[in-house]
Amino acid sequence: MSVLVNKDSKIIVQGFTGTEGTFHAGQMIEYGTKVVGGVTPGKGGTTHLDRPVFNTVADAVKQTGADVSIIFVPPAFAADAIMEAAQAGIKLIVAITEGIPTKDMIQVRDYLRDKEARLVGPNCPGVITAGECKVGIMPGFVFQKGRIGIVSKSGTLTYEAADQVVKAGAGISTAIGIGGDPIIGTTTKEAVELFMNDPETDGIIMIGEIGRNLQAEAARWIKNNSKNPVVGFIAGQTAPPGRRMGHAGAIVGGADDTAAAKMKIMAECGIHVVASPAEIGETMVRVLSKVSA
Protein backbone atom coordinates (compact mmCIF):
# COMPACT_ATOMS: atom_id res chain seq x y z
CA MET A 1 0.00 0.00 0.00
CA SER A 2 1.03 3.63 -0.43
CA VAL A 3 -0.45 7.01 0.35
CA LEU A 4 -2.34 8.84 -2.44
CA VAL A 5 -0.22 7.69 -5.42
CA ASN A 6 1.61 4.55 -6.48
CA LYS A 7 3.12 2.83 -9.52
CA ASP A 8 -0.36 2.15 -10.94
CA SER A 9 -1.61 5.75 -10.74
CA LYS A 10 -2.46 7.24 -14.14
CA ILE A 11 -1.54 10.91 -14.31
CA ILE A 12 -2.54 13.69 -16.68
CA VAL A 13 -0.95 17.13 -16.76
CA GLN A 14 -3.15 20.20 -17.06
CA GLY A 15 -1.10 22.90 -18.75
CA PHE A 16 0.84 20.09 -20.41
CA THR A 17 2.43 22.01 -23.29
CA GLY A 18 3.47 25.08 -21.31
CA THR A 19 7.03 25.64 -20.18
CA GLU A 20 6.53 24.45 -16.59
CA GLY A 21 4.22 21.61 -17.55
CA THR A 22 6.64 20.37 -20.18
CA PHE A 23 9.68 20.45 -17.92
CA HIS A 24 8.13 18.81 -14.89
CA ALA A 25 6.12 16.27 -16.90
CA GLY A 26 9.41 15.21 -18.45
CA GLN A 27 10.96 14.83 -15.01
CA MET A 28 7.98 12.81 -13.82
CA ILE A 29 8.19 10.50 -16.82
CA GLU A 30 11.93 10.05 -16.26
CA TYR A 31 11.22 9.08 -12.64
CA GLY A 32 8.93 6.32 -13.87
CA THR A 33 5.58 7.98 -13.24
CA LYS A 34 2.78 6.76 -15.48
CA VAL A 35 1.95 10.02 -17.26
CA VAL A 36 -0.76 9.04 -19.73
CA GLY A 37 -1.40 12.40 -21.39
CA GLY A 38 -2.13 16.03 -20.85
CA VAL A 39 -4.63 18.82 -21.37
CA THR A 40 -4.13 22.05 -23.29
CA PRO A 41 -7.32 23.60 -24.73
CA GLY A 42 -7.04 24.03 -28.48
CA LYS A 43 -4.27 21.46 -28.90
CA GLY A 44 -6.36 18.32 -28.62
CA GLY A 45 -5.44 15.62 -31.09
CA THR A 46 -1.73 16.42 -31.03
CA THR A 47 1.06 14.72 -29.10
CA HIS A 48 3.59 16.11 -26.64
CA LEU A 49 6.44 14.23 -24.97
CA ASP A 50 5.11 11.20 -26.88
CA ARG A 51 1.82 11.48 -24.99
CA PRO A 52 -1.62 12.49 -26.31
CA VAL A 53 -2.92 16.01 -25.74
CA PHE A 54 -6.62 16.60 -25.06
CA ASN A 55 -8.80 19.69 -25.11
CA THR A 56 -10.58 18.83 -21.86
CA VAL A 57 -10.00 16.76 -18.75
CA ALA A 58 -13.20 14.84 -19.48
CA ASP A 59 -11.76 13.73 -22.83
CA ALA A 60 -8.50 12.73 -21.17
CA VAL A 61 -10.22 10.68 -18.48
CA LYS A 62 -12.48 8.97 -21.01
CA GLN A 63 -9.61 7.93 -23.27
CA THR A 64 -6.83 7.20 -20.77
CA GLY A 65 -8.56 6.22 -17.54
CA ALA A 66 -6.57 8.86 -15.67
CA ASP A 67 -7.28 9.14 -11.93
CA VAL A 68 -4.72 11.82 -10.96
CA SER A 69 -4.13 15.30 -12.37
CA ILE A 70 -1.30 17.74 -11.75
CA ILE A 71 -1.98 21.38 -12.54
CA PHE A 72 0.49 23.81 -14.11
CA VAL A 73 -2.06 26.44 -15.11
CA PRO A 74 -1.62 30.22 -14.59
CA PRO A 75 -3.20 31.56 -11.37
CA ALA A 76 -6.12 33.29 -13.08
CA PHE A 77 -7.29 29.99 -14.62
CA ALA A 78 -6.15 27.48 -12.00
CA ALA A 79 -9.38 27.39 -9.98
CA ASP A 80 -11.36 26.50 -13.09
CA ALA A 81 -8.79 23.81 -13.87
CA ILE A 82 -9.21 22.27 -10.41
CA MET A 83 -13.00 22.25 -10.68
CA GLU A 84 -12.84 20.83 -14.21
CA ALA A 85 -10.69 17.95 -12.98
CA ALA A 86 -13.08 17.20 -10.12
CA GLN A 87 -16.08 17.32 -12.42
CA ALA A 88 -14.39 14.88 -14.79
CA GLY A 89 -13.96 12.30 -12.04
CA ILE A 90 -10.28 12.77 -11.17
CA LYS A 91 -9.72 11.37 -7.65
CA LEU A 92 -6.52 13.23 -6.75
CA ILE A 93 -5.79 16.77 -7.91
CA VAL A 94 -2.34 18.22 -7.24
CA ALA A 95 -2.27 21.99 -7.77
CA ILE A 96 1.29 23.28 -8.10
CA THR A 97 0.22 26.79 -9.15
CA GLU A 98 1.16 29.61 -6.79
CA GLY A 99 -0.79 32.84 -6.40
CA ILE A 100 -4.35 31.64 -7.02
CA PRO A 101 -6.64 34.43 -5.72
CA THR A 102 -8.12 33.62 -2.31
CA LYS A 103 -11.65 34.30 -3.53
CA ASP A 104 -11.13 31.70 -6.25
CA MET A 105 -9.97 29.13 -3.72
CA ILE A 106 -13.04 29.80 -1.57
CA GLN A 107 -15.11 28.87 -4.60
CA VAL A 108 -13.01 25.74 -5.16
CA ARG A 109 -13.35 24.70 -1.52
CA ASP A 110 -17.12 25.01 -1.69
CA TYR A 111 -17.27 23.19 -5.03
CA LEU A 112 -15.26 20.21 -3.79
CA ARG A 113 -17.41 19.61 -0.70
CA ASP A 114 -19.74 17.19 -2.46
CA LYS A 115 -17.13 15.73 -4.82
CA GLU A 116 -15.02 12.59 -4.31
CA ALA A 117 -11.86 14.36 -5.43
CA ARG A 118 -9.03 15.14 -3.00
CA LEU A 119 -7.05 18.33 -3.57
CA VAL A 120 -3.40 18.70 -2.57
CA GLY A 121 -2.20 22.31 -2.71
CA PRO A 122 -2.22 24.81 -4.25
CA ASN A 123 1.26 26.35 -4.02
CA CYS A 124 2.79 22.98 -3.17
CA PRO A 125 5.61 20.72 -4.38
CA GLY A 126 3.24 17.78 -4.84
CA VAL A 127 3.21 14.15 -3.74
CA ILE A 128 5.83 11.45 -4.18
CA THR A 129 5.76 7.77 -3.29
CA ALA A 130 9.43 6.91 -3.31
CA GLY A 131 10.55 4.65 -6.12
CA GLU A 132 7.07 4.47 -7.63
CA CYS A 133 5.40 7.72 -8.59
CA LYS A 134 6.24 11.43 -8.52
CA VAL A 135 3.38 13.91 -9.01
CA GLY A 136 5.10 17.22 -8.45
CA ILE A 137 8.24 19.29 -8.75
CA MET A 138 10.43 17.72 -6.06
CA PRO A 139 13.90 16.33 -6.90
CA GLY A 140 13.10 12.63 -7.17
CA PHE A 141 16.62 11.35 -6.52
CA VAL A 142 16.43 12.58 -2.90
CA PHE A 143 13.56 10.23 -2.04
CA GLN A 144 14.76 6.68 -1.41
CA LYS A 145 12.27 3.96 -0.56
CA GLY A 146 11.58 3.40 3.11
CA ARG A 147 8.96 3.54 5.84
CA ILE A 148 8.85 7.17 6.99
CA GLY A 149 6.10 9.51 5.82
CA ILE A 150 6.51 13.26 5.47
CA VAL A 151 3.79 15.91 5.58
CA SER A 152 5.04 19.44 5.14
CA LYS A 153 4.01 23.04 4.54
CA SER A 154 7.43 23.75 3.04
CA GLY A 155 8.72 22.32 -0.20
CA THR A 156 12.37 22.98 0.57
CA LEU A 157 12.13 21.44 4.05
CA THR A 158 10.40 18.41 2.56
CA TYR A 159 13.46 17.74 0.42
CA GLU A 160 15.80 18.49 3.32
CA ALA A 161 13.98 16.11 5.66
CA ALA A 162 13.96 13.34 3.06
CA ASP A 163 17.66 13.78 2.44
CA GLN A 164 18.40 13.64 6.16
CA VAL A 165 16.32 10.50 6.63
CA VAL A 166 18.13 8.73 3.81
CA LYS A 167 21.56 9.79 5.09
CA ALA A 168 20.58 8.48 8.53
CA GLY A 169 20.00 5.05 7.02
CA ALA A 170 16.23 5.04 6.52
CA GLY A 171 13.90 6.00 3.67
CA ILE A 172 10.58 7.52 2.65
CA SER A 173 7.23 5.85 2.05
CA THR A 174 5.39 8.91 0.73
CA ALA A 175 5.93 12.65 1.09
CA ILE A 176 3.06 15.14 0.82
CA GLY A 177 3.64 18.86 0.38
CA ILE A 178 0.30 20.32 1.42
CA GLY A 179 0.94 23.88 0.21
CA GLY A 180 1.61 27.25 1.74
CA ASP A 181 -1.47 29.26 0.79
CA PRO A 182 -4.17 30.37 3.26
CA ILE A 183 -6.75 28.03 1.69
CA ILE A 184 -5.55 24.56 0.75
CA GLY A 185 -7.10 21.20 0.09
CA THR A 186 -5.62 18.43 2.22
CA THR A 187 -4.72 19.62 5.73
CA THR A 188 -1.88 18.49 7.98
CA LYS A 189 -4.30 16.44 10.10
CA GLU A 190 -5.79 14.72 7.05
CA ALA A 191 -2.34 13.85 5.72
CA VAL A 192 -1.25 12.51 9.12
CA GLU A 193 -4.37 10.33 9.23
CA LEU A 194 -3.46 8.84 5.86
CA PHE A 195 0.00 7.95 7.13
CA MET A 196 -1.28 6.54 10.42
CA ASN A 197 -3.49 4.16 8.44
CA ASP A 198 -0.74 3.13 6.01
CA PRO A 199 0.82 -0.24 6.97
CA GLU A 200 4.00 0.68 5.08
CA THR A 201 4.63 3.83 7.17
CA ASP A 202 6.26 3.35 10.58
CA GLY A 203 6.97 6.97 11.50
CA ILE A 204 5.85 10.44 10.46
CA ILE A 205 7.68 13.73 10.05
CA MET A 206 5.38 16.73 10.39
CA ILE A 207 6.78 20.07 9.24
CA GLY A 208 4.78 23.24 9.80
CA GLU A 209 5.20 26.97 9.97
CA ILE A 210 3.76 29.99 11.73
CA GLY A 211 0.17 30.97 11.00
CA ARG A 212 -3.13 29.08 11.17
CA ASN A 213 -3.71 26.14 13.49
CA LEU A 214 -3.04 23.21 11.15
CA GLN A 215 -0.27 21.65 13.22
CA ALA A 216 -2.08 22.19 16.53
CA GLU A 217 -5.17 20.50 15.08
CA ALA A 218 -3.06 17.59 13.87
CA ALA A 219 -1.22 17.34 17.20
CA ARG A 220 -4.44 17.02 19.18
CA TRP A 221 -5.64 14.29 16.83
CA ILE A 222 -2.30 12.50 17.17
CA LYS A 223 -2.56 12.59 20.97
CA ASN A 224 -5.77 10.54 20.82
CA ASN A 225 -5.11 8.38 17.76
CA SER A 226 -1.38 7.86 17.36
CA LYS A 227 -0.21 4.47 16.07
CA ASN A 228 3.25 5.60 14.99
CA PRO A 229 5.79 8.08 16.42
CA VAL A 230 5.81 11.63 15.02
CA VAL A 231 8.70 14.08 14.80
CA GLY A 232 7.70 17.72 14.39
CA PHE A 233 9.36 20.97 13.37
CA ILE A 234 7.91 24.47 13.04
CA ALA A 235 9.58 27.03 10.78
CA GLY A 236 9.47 30.74 11.55
CA GLN A 237 10.58 30.68 15.18
CA THR A 238 11.95 34.24 14.99
CA ALA A 239 9.09 35.73 12.97
CA PRO A 240 7.61 38.98 14.36
CA PRO A 241 3.81 39.18 14.83
CA GLY A 242 1.82 40.42 11.84
CA ARG A 243 4.55 39.90 9.25
CA ARG A 244 4.23 37.32 6.50
CA MET A 245 7.22 35.02 6.22
CA GLY A 246 7.47 33.46 2.76
CA HIS A 247 4.16 31.68 2.17
CA ALA A 248 0.93 33.63 2.01
CA GLY A 249 -0.41 31.55 4.90
CA ALA A 250 2.64 32.06 7.10
CA ILE A 251 1.68 35.02 9.24
CA VAL A 252 1.24 35.28 13.00
CA GLY A 253 -2.24 36.58 13.68
CA GLY A 254 -2.61 35.57 17.32
CA ALA A 255 -0.83 34.03 20.29
CA ASP A 256 -1.54 30.45 19.16
CA ASP A 257 -0.08 31.12 15.69
CA THR A 258 3.50 31.54 16.89
CA ALA A 259 6.12 28.84 16.45
CA ALA A 260 6.65 28.64 20.21
CA ALA A 261 2.94 28.08 20.88
CA LYS A 262 2.69 25.38 18.24
CA MET A 263 5.82 23.62 19.45
CA LYS A 264 4.45 23.61 23.00
CA ILE A 265 1.14 22.09 21.92
CA MET A 266 2.91 19.49 19.80
CA ALA A 267 5.21 18.45 22.65
CA GLU A 268 2.26 18.20 25.06
CA CYS A 269 0.56 15.89 22.58
CA GLY A 270 3.48 13.47 22.50
CA ILE A 271 5.22 14.64 19.34
CA HIS A 272 9.01 14.64 19.36
CA VAL A 273 9.64 18.33 18.61
CA VAL A 274 13.01 19.51 17.29
CA ALA A 275 14.22 23.10 17.42
CA SER A 276 16.32 22.93 14.26
CA PRO A 277 15.61 21.43 10.84
CA ALA A 278 19.08 19.85 11.02
CA GLU A 279 17.76 17.49 13.72
CA ILE A 280 14.75 16.11 11.85
CA GLY A 281 16.22 13.02 10.19
CA GLU A 282 18.43 11.77 13.00
CA THR A 283 15.66 12.30 15.55
CA MET A 284 13.16 10.32 13.47
CA VAL A 285 15.54 7.40 13.04
CA ARG A 286 16.52 7.44 16.72
CA VAL A 287 12.88 7.48 17.87
CA LEU A 288 12.01 4.58 15.55
CA SER A 289 14.96 2.54 16.82
CA LYS A 290 13.74 2.97 20.40
CA VAL A 291 10.21 1.92 19.45
CA SER A 292 11.42 -1.24 17.73
CA ALA A 293 13.94 -2.13 20.43
The residues carrying an active-site annotation are: 247
Report which secondary-structure segment, H or E, holds 176.
strand 172-177
| Cβ pair 54, 65 in contact under 8 A | no
Q: Cα-Cα-Cα-Cα dihedral of 141, 147, 150, 151, to 10°?
A: 130
Burial 256-281 (b: 16+ CB within 10 A, else e): ebbbebbbebbeebebbbbeebebbb
Q: How far is CA 12 from CA 50, 124, 151, 178, 211, in A?
A: 13, 17, 23, 19, 33
SS3 at position 112: helix
Task: Report the interhelical angle of 188-196 vs 214-225 (nearest 10°).
Answer: 30
Taking the C-alpha atoms of residue 230 and residue 250, their distance in angstroms, rounded to an integer, is 22
Q: In what order do the strands lie in the sheet with 133-136?
A: 133-136, 126-129, 172-177, 145-152, 203-209, 230-235, 272-273
SS3 at position 197: coil
Cβ partners under 8 Å of residue 160, min gap 6: 277, 280
Whether residue 122 has a cis bond before it, omega within 30° of 0: yes
